[in-house]
Chains A and B, each alone.
Chain A
């Protein structure tokens, strides 16, 4: 971890099923936050992907955005936004978490399924109801 600018922080409490307490989310937007607990950071990545999936599913369903472009757009935005977040904004050492691919994979398929459900529901409701 490129921890030169990182401050020491007490370990953050975490619920057993991976859900995070509010204090963890307060660290998310701080570029100098320390992430001692690797599982905690992976959970942030995981749940962030779910939030992106919901937002994109609603937007794509309302527009509507159809076809492979919608799916490709989701994949690019989901992977790209989080890559920029952990690579450029937080500047974490990806090797500590198993590499960029492991971070990209974290929660991707579940978020994809959630995106598809939201997209289909909104598309059906608004454009075929």
Chain B
């Protein structure tokens, strides 16, 4: 087995481990707490109740009925907000961990071609796929590109049943956002100092942020 393919498999393994780590941190900080379990049960109960009420209500329903539904919707919104606040803790913890881990992996795999791409990426993707690699061969794949693809595909297999995939995905996205933001700031500073055009790279970083955030419901 060549070094490059060994690196490919290693990155898949790292992706699985970091996904498990993120899931574990979220379980410890969020999922097993009574407050989260209570809020989640409350939100589910209220959602079902509201859905049933909306199905039975007619257009000629009285003002009182409609006001009742509005109150229930407001209550549901408040509970959802409280649930998000509880999840915020794990998002920060995961974001912090991931920033440290990614910094470490980036330096380990710095300049190493970890895979060969069977296609030539678009120019604004090359900033990610050819990151920190020498040479002009744009089919060389860097660590971060393969890692992002692996994480996007592997997370779905590792979610803890019944605990809301969305929460874990949001935490991961937050961590990646911190990493990309830090990279973006360094990149912008570098490009500014070298008087290069910023707009293409800037667009890519913003697009990456949006793509990561809106990737999965």
Residues of B within 8 A of A109 (CB): 152, 215-216
Does B12 count as interface, using CB distance less than 8 angstroms? yes
Question: B120 and A17: CB pair below 8 A?
Answer: no
Q: CB < 8 Å: which of B2, B119, B152, B160 contacts A68?
A: B119
Task: Spot the interface stretch: B25-33, B49-57, B59-67, B110-118.
Answer: B110-118
Residues of B within 8 A of A121 (CB): 8-9, 12, 115
Residues of B within 8 A of A61 (CB): 118
Does B181 count as interface, using CB distance less than 8 angstroms? no
Residues of A within 8 A of B115 (CB): 120-121, 124
Q: CB < 8 Å: which of B9, B118, B160 contacts A66?
A: B118
Does A35 count as interface, using CB distance less than 8 angstroms? no
Q: CB < 8 Å: which of A64, A67, A110, A123 contacts B216?
A: A110
Complex-state Cα separation, A110 to B156, whole angstroms: 8
A residues whose Cβ falls under 8 Å from a Cβ of B: 15-19, 50, 53, 60-61, 64-68, 70-71, 109-110, 113-114, 116-117, 119-121, 123-125, 127-129
Q: List 25 A-B contacts (CB under 8 A).
A: A15-B161, A16-B162, A17-B161, A50-B156, A61-B118, A64-B118, A65-B118, A67-B118, A67-B119, A67-B120, A70-B118, A71-B119, A109-B152, A110-B153, A110-B215, A113-B149, A117-B146, A119-B118, A120-B115, A120-B149, A121-B9, A121-B12, A125-B8, A128-B5, A128-B116
